[in-house]
Amino acid sequence: MSKLLIRNGRVIDPASGRDEIADVLIWGGVVAAVGAGLDGRGAPVFDATGLVVAPGFIDMHAHLREPGFAHAETIETGSRAAAAGGFTSVCAMPNTAPVNDNPTVTSYIIERASRHALTNVFPIGAITAGCGGEALAEIGSMKNAGAVAISDDGRPVMNARVMRRALETALSFDLPIIQHCEDLNLSAGGDMHEGFESTRLGVRGIPGCSEDVIVARDILLAEATGARYHVAHVSTRRSTELVGQAKARGLPVTCEATPHHMSLADSDMPPYDSNYKMKPPLRSRDDVAAVVEAIASGIVDAIATDHAPHPGSEKMQEFERCPFGIIGFETALGVALETLYHAGKAPLARIVALFTTGPARVLNLDRGTLALGVAGDVTIFDPERPWTYDLNRSLSKSRNSPFDGKTFRGGPMAAVVDGAVVWRRE
């Protein structure tokens, strides 16, 4: 079992409120001590002078594409890219082929991950069989096999009766239910946010209300059932308000925001550039401001990447034919630091919480903290050092990112999983 002494970093652990220069000793794969001037007892030393030492980052929303789409990503390549983004845990969405709607697929993912992944991988099971929106998936047995949540991400559960049953079932198994909020009738045919930009470019629009109406409906259903309900990739002002109101009323409603929805608007997209095409689409400037406000005010619980690899062959077609989604592991922290910290919107401790305690709480994971005895997962980052994202050197199998060539102020320096340094910036 791994041992490591991380020396002299600024240790930020939101769970304990700690923010001070200290050492972190990992022994036997778990956090053994945090404090000044620790005796490493011969453990390898990582000098973190000038760096932030945080609990391992958790990405609660990613697509690793395996099984079924290994040309876009595998558990191995995806976890490598995740580690290079500072993530030590990744949650894998179930829209693979076959869909993760039964314990055999759940176990397969866990098995593959245990042999090939650099990071921890937590599968998310489907809500409905085949993500088809009708019959419920094998929710209880997927939980027994290791699923940490259920979601039909990519597709919303449109039928309110099915959603109600799903919430009741999720509640009985104490699982959160994660919804990709999009009314398919309102969004049908759309390829970008509906507004001035879509009109200017002659592209069919996806209205903001296609998200809002599902968030509103689901909050009512969550209230009726008492289940834990989580809004994936919140992107509109109205939906952040709805989640805020639900929280104010004490409902177990949570949400996540992506780096791209907090930093890019539809007007930032070069015309017909499919590396800016995703769901929900990049929204208006006002929506982007609302997402940032919701992060600052505490409405948003987690930053999640929605890492969605697609190979170039799929992304280099006409805009309308390109699939939705962008990769996001390696740029997530850089975007968050720039948009939130350097812009004065949120302190470092809050940003760390959004990557650690926030998702850990939503998913009930015994991680995201440097408490003694917890798995020795650590993210080490530099909040200031400039670096430039070179997409051609990405560890992902895919290249669909709007951030190629962008210089960030601050980013990940190392990822430590169970006390082993699994990635380190050269």
Q: Which is nearer to Zn ion, 23 or 211 (CB)?
A: 211
Contact indicator for 83, 413 with CB cutoff of 8 Å: no
Report whether 387 contacts 406 (CB < 8 A).
no
Q: Which helix (H) or strand (E) holds 308?
A: none
CA distances from 116 to 63, 66, 365, 394 (A): 16, 12, 21, 18
Q: Which two tokens stand for residue 370?
A: 């440097």
How near is the Cβ of 167 to Zn ion at its closest, in Å? 18
153 or 194, CB closer to Zn ion? 153
Q: Per-residue b/e over 382-409, b at no fewer than 16 CB within 10 Å?
A: bbeeebebebeebbbbbbbbbbeebebe
Q: Is the dihedral of CA 354, 357, 361, 365 positive or negative?
A: positive
Contact between 101 and Zn ion per CB under 5 A: no
The span from the CA of 134 to the CA of 158, in Å, is: 9
Q: How far is the CB of 275 from Zn ion (least distance, A)?
A: 17
Q: Could you say which residues in the range 295-314 bind Zn ion, by CB under 5 A?
A: none
Q: Which stretch binds Zn ion (CB under 5 A): 151-159, 213-221, 268-276, 296-304?
A: 151-159
| Under rule CB under 5 A, residue 256 binds Zn ion | no
> Per rule CB under 5 A, is residue 399 in the interface with Zn ion?
no
Number of residues forming the site for Zn ion (CB under 5 A): 2
Q: Min. distance of Cβ 291 from Zn ion in angstroms? A: 15
Nearer to Zn ion, 138 or 306 (CB): 306
Pick from 21, 20, 19, 25: nearest CA to 6 = 25
In the block, residue with structure tokens 């620790």: 38
183 is an interface residue for Zn ion by CB under 5 A: no
Angle between helices 237-248 and 209-225 (to 10 degrees): 20
Chosen residue from 153, 197, 330, 382 binding Zn ion by CB under 5 A: 153
Element (H, E) at 96: none
Known catalytic residue at 153: no
| Nearest approach, Cβ of residue 156 and Zn ion (Å) | 9
Beta strand residue intervals within 234-308, DSSP E: 253-257, 302-303
Q: Smallest distance from the beta carbon of 187 to Zn ion, in angstroms?
A: 12
- Strand runs (DSSP E) across 190-248, as ranges? 192-193, 205-206, 229-231
Residue that has been written with the tokens 């922290």 in this structure: 333
CB of 284 or CB of 305, closer to Zn ion: 305
CB 119 within 8 A of CB 88: yes
Stretches 35-43, 119-127, 179-187, 291-299: which one binds Zn ion (CB under 5 A)? 179-187
User: DSSP character for 323?
Assistant: P
Interacting positions 53-82 with Zn ion (CB under 5 A): none
- Beta carbon of residue 153, minimum distance to Zn ion (angstroms, whole number): 4
What tokens were used for 70?
A: 């290994």
Q: Which residue, 65 or 180, has its beta carbon nearer to Zn ion?
A: 180
What's the order of all strands across the beta sheet hosting 87-92?
57-62, 87-92, 120-123
Q: For the CB of residue 359, give the shortest distance to Zn ion in the complex, in Å.
A: 16
* Shortest Cβ 210–Zn ion spacing (Å): 13
Name the active-site residue from 266, 306, 377, 418: 306
* Residue 88 vs 187, nearer CB to Zn ion: 187
Of the ranges 178-186, 370-378, 392-400, 418-426, which one interacts with Zn ion (CB under 5 A)?
178-186
Only one of the segments 18-26, 180-188, 201-209, 382-390 lies at the binding site for Zn ion (rule: CB under 5 A); that segment is: 180-188
Window contacting Zn ion (CB under 5 A); options: 175-183, 244-252, 325-333, 379-387: 175-183
Instruction: Centre a 10 Å sphere on the Cβ of residue 265 and count the other Cβ atoms it contains.
Output: 18
Q: 153 or 301, CB closer to Zn ion? A: 153
Q: Is 152 in the site for Zn ion (CB under 5 A)?
A: no
Tokens 């997962």 sit at which residue? 377
Residue nearest to Zn ion (CB): 180
Which one of 3, 7, 155, 180 is in contact with Zn ion (CB under 5 A)? 180
- Residue 48 or 232: the one with the smaller Cβ distance to Zn ion is 232
Q: What ranges make up the beta strands (E) of 114-260? A: 120-123, 150-151, 177-179, 192-193, 205-206, 229-231, 253-257
**Binding residues for Zn ion, per CB under 5 A?**
153, 180
Q: Hey, which residues are catalytic here?
A: 306
